[in-house]
Chains A and B, each alone.
With several copies, the nearest count.
Chain A
Amino acid sequence: MTYREAIRAGLREALRSDPRVFLMGEDVGRYGGAYACSRGLLEEFGPERVRDTPLSESTFVGAGIGAALGGMRPIVEVMTVNFSLLALDQVVNNAATLRHMSGGQFSIPLAVRMATGGGRQLAAQHSHSLEGWYAHIPGIKVLTPATVADAKGMLLAALQDPDPVFIFEHAMLYPMEGELDEDAGAADISQARVRRQGNDVTLITFGGSLPKTLEAAEQLASLEIEAEVVDARVLRPLDISTFLTSVAKTHRVVIVDEAWRTGSFAAEISAQIMEQGFDHLDAPVARICAAEVPMPYAKHLEEAALPQVGIIVKTVQGL
């Protein structure tokens, strides 16, 4: 089963099991979703529960918040993180604040999904990795499924959560094949997960960079460096303890994050590891991030701009 199919299975399960759940977003219905995640759902659940919206990100995200306030369990698909900038006011100023500024009177059980990331030569306006921005906002939760199991499990978990949850699906992962237990339910969304054991160095990553990092770890293994690969999974609230446990063992850390380096979420992870694991560190925590450039279209330039297996291997070797 692919990552895309896992999302579709999650959507279907959610729509089947809870009448309060509905899906809305641009082209989720007749088109089947820009990334085909919702193909077939309109036919199964009808246009009331699988709703195509006009191009108006701010309003349909806001409407998702309102519908959640009104007793529904909306799943809002913002086609990509790039367009979510248009809805950021609703996220920061309403989704994240309404509970607090009403003194706890309201919960907003809203799940928002969006594709993120670069790698498909879509250039400067269509290649952002802004999940780190979202992770800055108290009041929401931020998930970055990097496996087929998490693609479904995190969606179901988001729907069980009483608060707004933002799910970032890396666009390069949709065709990825992986295992999925037929009746796997909601995933745990409180913890990071060690995806590969190792004693020599800790590689921390999330989302679209996980496959690259695992591949780098394989290459490192052939160089007799055993890397432990930790998938952060949940950027807010961040599970720092899993990182620290690994660092206490390996004493070296490299963080891989597809966002621009300056102000990346990798910086946050780096800072926290220093703050809490300073004495375990034998070397400064290293970051591998995107080059600080609006994403160029040309293939070789985009490849050079993004974290790649080679640079991960080289960075670890140079620690």
Chain B
Amino acid sequence: MSSRSLDLQGVSTTFTLTGEFEMQNIDINTIAQSDLQAVKQNHALTLLHEMLRIRRFEEKAAELYSLGMIRGFLHLYIGEEAVAVGAMQAFGQQDRIVATYREHGHALARGVPIRSLMAEMYGKANGCSRGRGGSMHLFDAGRRFYGGYAIVGGGLPIAVGLALADKLQSRPYVTACFFGDGAVAEGEFHESLNLAALWKLPVLFLCENNLYAMGTALARHQSQTDIAMKAQGYGFQGEAVDGMDVLAVEKATRRVADWVRQGKGPYLLEFRTYRFRAHSMYDPELYRTKEEVERWKERCPIATFQTWLRQQQLLADTTLAQIEAAVDHEIEDAIVFAEAGPSEPVEDLLRDVYTQEG
């Protein structure tokens, strides 16, 4: 862990710090060398903050689910926060994000307002999908967050199409497509990788390999378990990254996002990670042992990053307390917002099936 470094070298001229409510672009060239350490610290703390925000948001969501305030399917990302947070650093405002049904983390890391997210899970009209989508279908056009796909593998062709649109319009944007290890078995994975490679489309395939597709372990659903290697079958590159290490995720994603942005075609990253919680709120977890889960929890991406930050003298106890407080406050505020949110009138049931014209 201590071998990690916060490396801003070799990054394109602008990089993105994702704040709670907005995204800032900082031109690295304008930063005085003396300020760089501050920027680094600031960035590192942002990463921590982002991960904690997701963790606490979901812990709260689980509570609210037990209370019946949130319903439907709820898939928690707890344990995998380093992936969404680290990867999302690599994308600019014009880049596009496609995610799965386990996408609270991606939405938050992308800057989808936490209020609109919570309201969505309450099914309120001020939710990010007007309460029509729920936990599995978060959308935010302004942040180019394209959802929210609950059919495993179903988002990949969409991502390929978004990238095709950018290529046809000669825009230097990247489409980031998140999906699980389970999706790798679906035909659409194969078809999408082939098409993206064939047409050299700017898609970054980001596999969150948490070792299980629901209750089916990787080795029970993949005849060949090295996912990164599968890119070779389509003539492009893939690599595996430690998905429990936010800095490793950020670094790798930045590097290959640039590569993709340069028009060199798609790239596959496999993030090796683990889901600490059940698949969904219904899952009795018969398929794995408590010990296995405990072993992985020792590698908690937040706890280990905190330890490392402390070792590097980048995190004071007071700072952590401040971050925790800010997160708690933000979540409480989001709940208030959601609870106060209006319900869509039943008369509007049929709205947004088709585009209202004129």
**Chain A residues in contact with chain B, CB under 8 A?**
22, 26-27, 29-32, 34, 39, 48, 51-56, 58-72, 74, 82-83, 86, 89-90, 93-94, 98-107, 120-126, 138-139, 141, 162-163, 291-294, 296-301, 304-305
- Proximity bits, B186-223, A CB within 8 Å = 1, else 0: 11100110110011000000000000011111001110
Contact check, B139 vs A55: say whether CB atoms are below 8 A apart.
Answer: no
- A selection of 6 A-B contacts at a CB cut-off of 8 Å is A31-B214, A54-B222, A62-B160, A70-B161, A70-B166, A74-B161
Q: Is B19 an interface residue (CB 8 A)?
A: no
10 closest Cβ pairs, A-B complex: A66-B161, A62-B157, A70-B165, A31-B215, A103-B130, A297-B134, A298-B123, A54-B185, A102-B139, A56-B191
Contacts of B217 in A (CB 8 A): 30
Contact check, A293 vs B157: say whether CB atoms are below 8 A apart.
Answer: no
Tell me the nearest residue of chain A to B140, going by C-beta: A105
- Proximity bits, B83-107, A CB within 8 Å = 1, else 0: 0000000000000100000000000
Cross-chain contact of A66 among B159, B215, B284 (Cβ < 8 A)? B159
Question: Given A55-B213, A301-B131 in contact, is the A63-B183 Cβ separation under 8 Å?
Answer: no
Contacts of B130 in A (CB 8 A): 103-104
Contact check, B157 vs A52: say whether CB atoms are below 8 A apart.
Answer: no
Contact check, B123 vs A299: say whether CB atoms are below 8 A apart.
Answer: yes
Contact check, B195 vs A89: say whether CB atoms are below 8 A apart.
Answer: no
Question: Given A90-B157, A103-B133, A123-B132 in contact, is the A62-B188 Cβ separation under 8 Å?
Answer: yes
Given contact pairs A27-B214, A30-B215, A70-B163, enumerate 11 new A-B contacts (beta carbons under 8 Å). A54-B213, A55-B152, A63-B158, A66-B158, A67-B162, A70-B165, A99-B355, A121-B72, A123-B72, A124-B133, A163-B355
- How far does the Cβ of B42 sit from chain A's closest Cβ, in whole Å? 32
Contacts of A121 in B (CB 8 A): 71-72, 123, 134
Q: Is B150 an interface residue (CB 8 A)?
A: yes
Query: Please, how many angstroms separate the alpha-carbon atoms of A69 and B157 in the complex?
Result: 12
Question: Given A101-B137, A292-B350 in contact, is the A31-B158 Cβ separation under 8 Å?
Answer: no
**Chain B residues in contact with chain A, CB under 8 A?**
71-73, 96, 120, 123-124, 127-134, 136-137, 139-141, 146-154, 156-166, 168-169, 182-183, 185-188, 191-192, 194-195, 198-199, 213-217, 220-222, 282-284, 286-287, 343-344, 346, 349-355, 357
Contacts of B134 in A (CB 8 A): 121-123, 297-298
Contact check, A62 vs B352: say whether CB atoms are below 8 A apart.
Answer: no
Contact check, B129 vs A93: say whether CB atoms are below 8 A apart.
Answer: no
- How far does the Cβ of A44 sit from chain B's closest Cβ, in whole Å? 14
Contact check, A53 vs B195: say whether CB atoms are below 8 A apart.
Answer: yes
Cross-chain contact of B156 among A59, A70, A293 (Cβ < 8 A)? A59
Question: Given A54-B221, A123-B150, A291-B350 in contact, is the A66-B71 Cβ separation under 8 Å?
Answer: no
Contact check, A105 vs B129: say whether CB atoms are below 8 A apart.
Answer: yes
Contact check, B185 vs A56: say whether CB atoms are below 8 A apart.
Answer: yes
- How far does the Cβ of B292 sit from chain A's closest Cβ, in whole Å? 13
Contact check, A60 vs B157: say whether CB atoms are below 8 A apart.
Answer: yes
Contacts of B147 in A (CB 8 A): 98, 101-102
Query: Please, how many angstroms separate the alpha-carbon atoms of A45 and B216 in the complex?
Result: 18
Contacts of A31 in B (CB 8 A): 214-216, 283, 286-287
Our count of residue pairs bridging A and B at CB distance below 8 angstroms stands at 273
Contacts of A53 in B (CB 8 A): 195, 221
Contacts of A138 in B (CB 8 A): 353
Query: Please, how many angstroms separate the alpha-carbon atoms of A116 and B217 in the complex?
Result: 26
- How far does the Cβ of B311 sit from chain A's closest Cβ, in whole Å? 40
Contact check, A139 vs B157: say whether CB atoms are below 8 A apart.
Answer: no
Contacts of B156 in A (CB 8 A): 59, 62
Contact check, A105 vs B139: say whether CB atoms are below 8 A apart.
Answer: yes
Query: Please, how many angstroms separate the alpha-carbon atoms of A234 and B146 in the complex?
Result: 30
Contact check, B72 vs A297: say whether CB atoms are below 8 A apart.
Answer: yes
- How far does the Cβ of B337 sit from chain A's closest Cβ, in whole Å? 16
Contacts of B164 in A (CB 8 A): 63, 66-67, 70, 72
Contact check, A125 vs B150: say whether CB atoms are below 8 A apart.
Answer: yes
Query: Please, how many angstroms separate the alpha-carbon atoms of A29 and B286 in the complex?
Result: 10
Contact check, A54 vs B195: say whether CB atoms are below 8 A apart.
Answer: yes
Tell me the nearest residue of chain B to A162, going by C-beta: B355
Contacts of A72 in B (CB 8 A): 164-165, 168-169
Cross-chain contact of B161 among A69, A293, A299 (Cβ < 8 A)? A69
Query: Please, how many angstroms separate the alpha-carbon atoms of A153 and B232 in the complex?
Result: 45
Question: Given A69-B146, A126-B73, A293-B353 in contact, is the A101-B161 Cβ separation under 8 Å?
Answer: no
Query: Please, how many angstroms separate the alpha-carbon atoms of A163 and B132 in the complex?
Result: 18
Query: Please, how many angstroms separate the alpha-carbon atoms of A48 and B201 in the complex?
Result: 12
Query: Please, how many angstroms separate the alpha-carbon atoms of A120 and B280 in the complex?
Result: 14
Contacts of A123 in B (CB 8 A): 72, 132-134, 136-137, 150
Query: Please, how many angstroms separate the alpha-carbon atoms of A163 and B154 in the complex?
Result: 19
Question: Given A31-B283, A54-B195, A63-B164 in contact, is the A125-B157 Cβ separation under 8 Å?
Answer: no
Contact check, B220 vs A52: say whether CB atoms are below 8 A apart.
Answer: yes
Contacts of A139 in B (CB 8 A): 353-354
Contacts of A90 in B (CB 8 A): 154, 157
Cross-chain contact of A83 among B96, B136, B151, B351 (Cβ < 8 A)? B151
**Interface-centre pick from B149, B160, B168 (highest chain A CB count, 10 A):** B168
Query: Please, how many angstroms separate the alpha-carbon atoms of A61 and B188 in the complex?
Result: 11
